Chains A and B, each alone.
Chain A
Amino acid sequence: MSYLTLSLALIFVLIPIFLSKTLKLGLEKDTIIATVRSIIQLLVVGYVLTFVFDAGNYIYIILMIILMIAAATHNAQKKGAAIKGIIWKLVGTFIFVEVLTQGILLGFQITPPTAQFIIPISGMVVGNSMVLSILFLNRFTSEVETRQDETELILSLGGTPKQAIHMSLITSIRASMIPTIESQKTIGLVQLPGMMSGQIIAGADPVQAVQFQLLILFLLLTTASVTSIMLGFLSYPTLFNKQMQMLKLRT
């Protein structure tokens, strides 16, 4: 695809701007910012990836992954600001999920140890982990607030903090994982996944594309469950003190 052809794709940006202006939705500015940011960010990533692939040095791969984790942490921590030390909990979770998934992929030689595989897959894993963290933290802080009486009731009956927070934790873990599981149930029926579509458009064998997509889907199931559960179990102890008293969420 040439840049000239790509520029024609801007028609798809003009349509929402036109609709927003006509219906006074007030989204023109945000649409333009989003368009400009996506063009710059993706072009930069494109050039950086070309450099990293050509260099063939693991240091650059690790730096790329660090950058992804830093960006994901920055984005997700806003939703968990009420939880003490959320930044390190997120960093720990993202690193663990990344090491676990790449460890399995590379350890069992499912994917080759090259930048072309490690970086895009890491992007999907960390990105998915970030979305899961946001979903989990959003739900968990709201559950903790709405179930405060129930949590204190269990403490007052002689329960431990873990027993007292159990329902809030399980509800939040389940709620954050449901979108991943539900979307996998209808995959291929409603929409073709982005990565698979990209490969097919680029001329790859559709069956080969499906095999890679399945790999990613299974990977994302592990990512989803490990992220929610690990973040949950790292977060709940900060809601209590040593006297097993419930602390107020930070505002």
Chain B
Amino acid sequence: MNTPNDTAIEFKNVSYSDGELQIIKDVTGTFPKGKITTLVGPSGAGKTTLFRLCNRLISPEAGEILVNGENIVSYEPTELRRMAGLALQSATMLSGSVYKNLSMPLTLQSGDLPEANAKDLLKDVGLEADYLHRNVKDLSGGQRQKVSIARTLVNKPNILLLDEITSSLDRVSQEEIETLIKKINDNYQVTIIWITHNLQQALSIGDYIWVMMDGKLMESGESSLLNNPQNNHVKLFVKGEIE
């Protein structure tokens, strides 16, 4: 069990429903500070909903969520969302240029992102500097995903919530992003929570893992638990018999 000092996010008996449908069911668990934790599970397990709870885009109907030891409700929502940055699989873009998208987090705080910094961010995520003034309409799915990650990094979050960010990327881009995320984790001790459907990726880059199924946390611990899961449902999921 992690102590508050080495826990980035802690869930205590958290439940969440959307209308009649219960999506998160009494989840209790921790995400260690400064580590990479992967979040795996079949479709509809509630993984993205869990992220939306961490970013406080939605609130639980029961239970408590602690971020860096403080109850999530004690933070200003804007402050929390900058601190716990979220990059979604959908990689929603604002219409206009890549630069407009990268500047957005600072524009929201009446600030300005110098072009040189924006180009550095693009380089970090494996895009050439000349992408800066391209229209997002002209980007491929993978390129949009990279811009989305770069945009989340502009706020310098100390927790990064990444939702299947490499699922639409080719192998080379996927490796570039994995290297980048590891670099961010090593250099700045940013806590990374990464939803992935790729169990190999979970084993290779994650320090810890959460396995979720049907809104419940089935098993959590070091990534190696995937090699020898205790829960029968998790065993079936690892074998690929539950998708």
Residues of B within 8 A of A149 (CB): 90, 92
Whether A154 and B104, one on each chain, are in contact in the complex, defined by CB atoms closer than 8 angstroms, is yes
Which single residue of chain B is at the shortest CB-CB distance from A161? B77
Contacting A at CB under 8 A, from B160-218, are none
Whether A159 and B92, one on each chain, are in contact in the complex, defined by CB atoms closer than 8 angstroms, is no
Q: How far does the alpha carbon of A156 sit from the alpha carbon of B56 in the complex, in Å?
A: 8
Whether B92 and A150, one on each chain, are in contact in the complex, defined by CB atoms closer than 8 angstroms, is yes
Q: How far does the alpha carbon of A152 sit from the alpha carbon of B52 in the complex, in Å?
A: 10
Q: Any chain B CB within 8 A of the CB of A153?
A: yes
Q: Any chain B CB within 8 A of the CB of A158?
A: yes
Residues of B within 8 A of A243 (CB): 56, 59, 73, 77
- Known contacts: A149-B90, A150-B92, A163-B108. The answer to whether A157 contacts B59 by CB under 8 A is no
Whether A152 and B57, one on each chain, are in contact in the complex, defined by CB atoms closer than 8 angstroms, is yes
Residues of B within 8 A of A157 (CB): 81-82, 85, 104-105, 108, 151-152, 155
Chain A nearest CB, measured from B95 CB (Å)? 9
Most buried by B among A153, A154, A243, A246: A153
Most buried by A among B77, B86, B90, B105: B77
Q: Which A residues are within 8 Å of any B CB, using their own CB? A: 149-150, 152-160, 163, 243-246
The 8 closest A-B CB pairs, nearest first, are A158-B82, A244-B77, A159-B108, A149-B92, A158-B81, A158-B78, A153-B92, A156-B86
Give 13 A-B pairs besides A154-B108, A156-B85 with Cβ atoms closer than 8 angstroms. Answer: A149-B90, A152-B57, A154-B94, A156-B55, A156-B86, A157-B82, A157-B105, A158-B78, A158-B105, A160-B78, A163-B108, A244-B77, A245-B77
19 A-B residue pairings within 8 Å (CB atoms): A150-B92, A150-B94, A153-B88, A154-B94, A155-B77, A156-B55, A156-B81, A156-B85, A157-B81, A157-B82, A157-B85, A157-B108, A157-B152, A158-B108, A158-B109, A243-B59, A244-B77, A245-B56, A245-B77
